[in-house]
Structure formats: structure tokens, C-alpha cells
Structure 1
Amino acid sequence: MIFVGVFPNSGWYCPSGVLSPLCAESPEGFAENVRRNGIMIDDGDTFSPKVRRWRDVFWLAIFMLHLIALGFVLVLLGLNRFKKSDRLNIDRYTNRVWEHNNGLTENYWPNYAVAGGVGAALGWIWLLLLGSHANLMMKVSVHILTTYLAVISVLCFWCKQFFWGVAFATGAALQFLYVISVVDRLPFTMLVLQKAVKMVWSLPEVMRVAYAFVAVMLLWMGIWSFGAAGVVASSRGDLGRWWLLVVLSVSLFWTGAVLCNTVHVIVSGLVFLVLIHGGRNASPMPPNPLMKSLRYAIAVYGKGFNRAARDAWELFQSTGVEALVAYDCSGAVLLMGTVLGGLITGTCAGVWTWMTWSDRVGLAMVVVESAVTSIYICYAEDPLLIQKWDPQFFNQMSEKLHQRLQHRSALAREILTQNQHDTRMQDIFHL
């Protein structure tokens, strides 16, 4: 339960006026809670993280070595079939793996390049349209996806692709059933997403980060597709070729996941920094908030991801915000947008290309998802942070939280009453 206000007779020391996990029975206890949570308070009574000590150097080194080594291999595979068959005389080492073909890299690379370009373009367009037509874009993601899946299913049956027809028809049915089951939760979800988009578009640094990372991923996809096209061009047998493509796809997925998580941490840190200082133009804000966010780009308060996740979930449960998080389905709505973008990309370049390239739109979705996460964290940490940023949105969140807590209480009473009734009936039966 969250209580907003001042507590002069409660015995709790809460300088912000909000009962939160940092409150204590004395100023000394509050200071101890602040130190335990890794927070320091400056002269402006604002919170800022300590210098972090967590550095995942080992996995960073593994990831960078993987990129360098794989990039080198991809360039070799692509050049080996570029304008000339077996240019680098690599085929002699792969005779035992697959049967060679006389194809050229440029015969396949344009198809993959078009798919990658369409995916990146969709990501950029999505970010642009979110700023002016956020509600419309979310509705398109939710409602058009079912129709799109159904249409593709019909086309697959028409082309006598029975397996894919059944797969897309099943997807359309599951999507329709899911939307029906959460239709009452969509208005609140749209509200949260609209406020997250509002926050994102008020921070030019966030948009620059999003566009920059989409460009980086597009560059890596160009290198990846060059090597993948060389693999397809050099092999006539499916077994060896597809095993190598599976390995390359796993690497592409890992690279995309790392970039998405990096964007998530940067955007979440920047949004948290803005909310905790009272706004983008507040006087306590550091002069360069993006660099400040990058400095603490491991987790809020400089914690490791695992510990930060546990602490955040405990904070949600202790304040009751977990009821809002469970009720919100913004992650599912953003996933629908990602799948829709992948389907559009696949329509342009083929089903196989969609399975490989659809995560480019997902990189753009991470920006909004990060803002949503930061809003919930700040609301659980100190609801006044949201009230200072958007009082109307704060009132709407508080009202919805009150409704969800009442719903859970009523459900718990109903289950308890039913259990007591069942117990009495069993006692009567035994008698």
C-alpha cells in the first residue's frame, strides 16, 4: 500500500513526504537506509548513485572477441564468392562439410540487404510516428496484427504451403484470443505507453541513442548478410549450409540482445535521472545527463543486474506496485509491434529473412519499454517523482493501483470464504 502525504504523528522520518522503503523512525535510520541502498543525498536533497563497482569485464571481452573473430570470418566467406567463385581458395577446406556450388555472393546479398534495410527503416519510422501518433500506432500493433496473420495464412494455403498456413492461422487465433482476454487492460496500458513516449520524446539524448544503435545494428547486419550470402552461394547441400547459418543466426541474436540491453540500460538510467531530479530542466540536473547515465550504465544505484532485479521486485511487492505491473501489458503490446514489423519485413523479403531480421524493429521498441520500466521503478521508489513530472498521470496511476488492490483483496476474501466453506462441508461429511 502506498501512502502519499506528511506523517507528523506516525513516528516515521520521510523527508520527501512519502512513506517508502527508505523511511525510518529517525533521521539516523533514514541515513542508514540510504547508505544500504547505495544512495547519497546532495545539498539539493536529490538522489544520485554512487560510483559503481560492478564491471563485467570478462563477458565484455568475450563479446568483443566474438565480434572481431566473427566479423573477420564473415568478410572472408563473403569475399570468397564475391564476383568470382572460390576467390580465396577456401573450398578445399570445406569439401567434407558440403557439396560446393558455383553461386556468387552478389546473387543473394541484395535480398538480405533489402530485408535489413526495411527492418531498420521500420524501426526509424516507428520512432518518428510514436511522437505524433502514439495512440494510433499502439492500436495498429494490437488490432492489425491479427488481420495480417490471417491474410498471410490464406496466402500460404493458396500457394499450397500447408505447414506455414497452419502456423500463421494458429498465430492469428492465439493473437485474437489474447487480445480478447486483455481488452479491459488495454486502456491503462495505452495510457502508460503514451506517457512513456512523452518522456522519451522530451529527451533528445534518448532519440539520438536509439537512432545511433539502429544504425550500428544495420552496419553489423550488412557485414553479417555479406558472409551469410557467401555461405548460401558456396553450398549446394542443405545440411552443412544450414548448420552454419544456425550458428551465424545465434551470433546475430546474441549481438542484437546485447545492443537492446545496452539501449535499455542507457534509456532507463536517463529517464530515472530526469525523474529523480524533478524534470529535464530542473536546476539540480547534471549538465550532461546522457554521459551521467552512461557512467552508471549497469543498473540504478550501481548494482549488478541480478541484485537490482531482485531489489526492484521486492520494492514492487512491498509498495503494492506489483499489482500495477501485473495488470499492465505494455510489454505484450510492444512485442506485437515487433512481430508486425517482422511480418512486414518478411512480406518484402521472404519468410526466412523475417525469422532472421525481425529484431531490428524490436531495437526501436526497447526505447519505449525502458521508459515504462523506469516509470514503475520511480513510482515504487517515491511516488512524488511521478507527481512532480505529471500530476494527472500520477492521479490516474494511484486510482488504478487502488482499484487493483481492492480487486485482489476481494479475490483473496472470496478464496478464503470458499476454503472455509469447503472445510465445513468436509467436517459435516466426516460426521
Structure 2
Amino acid sequence: MYNKTSSCPATPSGSTKQTAAASLLLFKKSDFTTYPKDPIAIERLNLMNMAKLSIKGLIESALNLGRTLDSDYAPLQQFFVVMEHCLKHGLKTKKTFLGQNKSFWGALELVEKLTPEAGEITASVKDLPGLKTPLGRGRAWLRLALMQKKLSDYMKTIINRKDLLSEFYEPNALMMEEEGAVIAGLLVGLNVIDANLCMKGEDLDSQVGVIDFSMYLKDGGHSSKSAEGDGQITAILDQKNYVEELNRHLSASVNNLQAKVDALEKSNTKLTEELAVANNRIITLQEDVERVKEESSYQLESRKAVRSDSAADGQALGETRKQLKEETLLRLDVEKELEVQIGMKQEMELSMKMLEKDICEKQDALVELRQQLEDLRAINQQLIHKSQSADASSKQKSEVVARLEEKINQMSGTVKQLETR
């Protein structure tokens, strides 16, 4: 919803600039000299010429003024009066229980149905306090549309739907003829104007809309300044167009940087998940090593019991050999798994180094990710320490296996002695 005291500034695009300049070039003496014989057509032409003068004077005076326009600005007030007369031309009379009524508010309400974004203006008008008549609501709608810089677009929208306008206007009304389309095109030039219109306390219901022709009766000196005014308008429009283009480029750069940041965040998340999986594998491997140690100690105790009991029979000796073979195979499997995990750890370290190099190259754009990189480095150090611990454990295990092999050799000698007996 539009605030009653707020303006809606917007930078005109390149097409708006060209349209505004073209609309000012349309104001020639030849536009105001040829009149048809039909009185209704003369009325339409007079209103169109007054609209041209009003729009041209408003654009020139506003650009020379160089600030945001308010409700007390006389050329702006006269513009709304002229627009009100244009919208009232050829209105059909509607009979109500209070009498006959002519209002262009019903035609303006069509914009909401044809252009959904105009619903905000219509809702704001209906919420304004103090507006009791359709005329007051129509005047408020014109002011809000001008602040939104959509007045030309909305007028073109309803003028293109003459099948709907025929409900409110006579066939020869200005809004139904070519003059209405001309006025809608001239309104594009008003997009270069910023307006802040406060409607609080303004009596829009009972204002008398009288055109002040004295504002448009200028002396010859005024025409000599038109060329200079056109040059100033062109310079200002060029400046606004440059600022808009620069803003578009900056927005595109920001979007590209944001996309890169998102991609790096996804890559970092994936790497974190891989590190978590590796940690789980290392923990599982450590548990397997502990289990093998326990089983090895158990086998050592069993072998000591076998040596102490020299009277054991051949069946017990066969079972011991079988268990020894199983333990040997289990040891080989554990060593292979350990080698695989060590290889995975080395690949992970290589991946970490490559990631660190990539992050260093993009350090200017990713300062906020440095802390996360430090955390990953700390995790890498922990993995190295754990790997070193695993290597030490592997060495201890190798020593234990060597001692076991020595004891097996001793047991083999004992077995041979028993067999010779």
C-alpha cells in the first residue's frame, strides 16, 4: 500500500528517456491550429492541446526546479485539473436515488482488473480518510498513479479496452477516440518527475477544477528558452540513464559473487561430510585393532596353557593349529584394511591441500570462510595424529606377531618331539 505522504521515486529507463524527449518535441504550433467542424471533435482537440501544454509546462518547470514536487506546486495542480476534464469528457450519466451522477472513478477501477499491480493504488484510495465521493477517489487515484510513475501505463491499459470503456463513455468521448491514446503517450514523459503529494487534510471531494489559462499565455521570451530547456532535459535524462545502467552492472556483479559463495559453501559442506565419514571409518578400524589385540592376548594365554599341558592329545594340538591359521588370516585382512585406510587418508590429505590452494586463490571474495578453513585444518591435524597413533599400534602389532611366530616355531619343535615319543 502507498503511504499518503510518501513518494515513489524511480529512475527512468532508456526507452522512457526517449519517450519523454519525443513527447516534448510533439509540442509545435501546427498541433494547435487545425480544428474540425464537429463541436465534439473540437472539444476533444482543445482538451488534447491543453493536455500537451500542461504536460510540457510541468516537465520543463519541474526539471528547472530540480527538486521533488509537492501538492502546492501550481503547474502540477493545473495538470490534474486538465486530466480531470479529459476523463470527464463524454461520460455517461448514471441515475441514482440521489439524482444524476457523472464520475470517472468507475472507469479508473477497471485498471485494477486489467493490471493486478494497480490493486495497491485502488486499495490505498479506498482506505484514505475523508474521501466520501467518487470524484474525490478519482482525484486521489490520479495523484497516487503519478507518484508511482505508472499513470501512462494505466491510461494505455484502459484505453486499449474500449469494449469495457463503452459502459462509462459515449462513443465520441475523448477516451474512446484517438486523442485519448495521444494523451496516454504524452504521459510517459512524466516518469522523469519525482512527486511527493500529501493528501492528508486536502479536500479532494469539493475542489473546483478550473483551468487557469494565464499559466499558458507566455510572452515571446519563453519560446527563446525552449532550446536551452530541451538541452537541460537531455542532460538530466542521460545522467539518470547512466546511473541506472551502472546499477544494473553492480547488481549483476553481486549476483555472480553470491553464486560463487553458494557453490563454495556447498563444496565445503560436502567436504565436511566426507571428513565425518572418514572419522567414522577410522574409529571402526581402531575398534577392530582393539578386538584383534584382545583375541591375540587370548590366543597367547591359550598357547601358554597348551605348552604347560604337555600331556594334551593330538586333537587339542590340531585345534590349536586351526585357530592359529584363522588368526593369521585375520591379521592379514586387518593389515590390508589398514593399508586401504592409510591410502584413503593420503588421498584426503591431498584433497585438503588442493582445497586450501583454491580457497587461498579466492581469499578476497571469501573472507568469511577463513574460520571454517582453520577448523578443517585442525581436523586434519587430528587425523594425522590419529594416523600416527595407528602406525605405532601397527608396529606394536607387528612385534607381537613376530614374537608369536617365534613361539609357534618353539611349539612346532615341541610337537615334533612329542611325535617322536
Q: Is TM-score (shorter-chain normalized) higher than 0.5?
A: no
Larger radius of gyration: 2
Bin for the TM-score computed over the shorter chain = under 0.3
The normalised TM-score by structure 1 is: 0.21
